[in-house]
Structure 1
Amino acid sequence: MNNYELMVIFTPVLSEEDYKAAQKKYASFVKDNGGEVLHENPWGLKSLAYSIQKKTTGLYWVLEYNAPSDFNEKLKIQILRDETVLRFMATKLDKYAVEYNAKKRSGVPTGTEKVGA
């Protein structure tokens, strides 16, 4: 099992219920295919750096999960079929990234915080 992080940008025209349903759909897809969801982080509505399909904003969502190595191809097919997804990116995390994410979630200083703003 490998550690991965999935970032999805959904279309901004989704209602709050549809946004949550889409999150639940992909989290369930991970679990149903032998994976384990470690952390979900809905970022909400953010501006895009450039327009995608004539949209300047998107609903961001980040999912950290463990899954077998062949799972990402199945996930990619599911996401590409979904018309509500503008962009997505799945990244394999090394042990340092996993450790960093765990520290960040628990509130332990990671050494990258700004001092004295």
Structure 2
Amino acid sequence: MAKISANYEVVYILDPAQGEEAIAANVAKFQALAEQHGCSDVVVDEWGKRRLAYAIDYKTEGYYVLMSFTSAPEFPKELDRILGITEGVMRSMIVCKDE
């Protein structure tokens, strides 16, 4: 039997060089995207600027954001695609907490 919905967590790192306004806009964009696709229990936890474990494109700091949500299995694939093509996203990882 296919799952109707599952709990997911996504952590993404934004480039802090783009400025506070662009960071806030990206965080709001991804939260709105989750809410538009019918996700429930959307919780965004901004961890802020932290030092990276290793340099990414010669950058040593990143702005970390954790977002938790419940959705159908199709949405995380779309979210991963959008995170991959969005300017300023350095890294992202989506994890299903139910498995």
Taking structure 2 as the reference length, what is the TM-score of the superposition? 0.90
Identity of aligned residues (%): 28
Q: 1:115 — aligned with what?
A: none
Residues 31 and 37, structure 1, Cα contact 8 Å, conserved in 2: no
- 1:1-117 aligned at under 5 Å gives the runs 1-94=5-98
Residue 100 (structure 1) aligns with: none
In 2, Cα distance between the equivalents of 1:90 and 1:5? 6
Aligned residues: 95
Deviations along 1:90-114, one digit per CA (max 9) or x if unpaired, are 111139xxxxxxxxxxxxxxxxxxx
| 1:40 match: secondary structure | strand
Structure 2 contact 7–98 (Cα < 8 Å) conserved:
yes
Structure with higher Rg: it is 1
Instruction: Give the unaligned 5+ runs of structure 1.
Output: 96-117
CA RMSD of aligned residues (A): 1.3
Contact conserved, 2:16 with 2:23, CA < 8 A, in 1? Answer: no
Q: Which amino acid aligns with 1:66?
A: T
Question: Which structure shows the higher strand fraction?
Answer: 2
Return the TM-score normalized by structure 1: 0.77
- Whether contact under 8 Å (1:30, 1:37) holds in the other structure is no
Contact 1:11 1:85 in 2 (8 A): yes
In 2, distance between residues paired with 1:63 and 1:94?
Answer: 15
Structure 2: give runs of 5+ residues left out of the alignment.
none
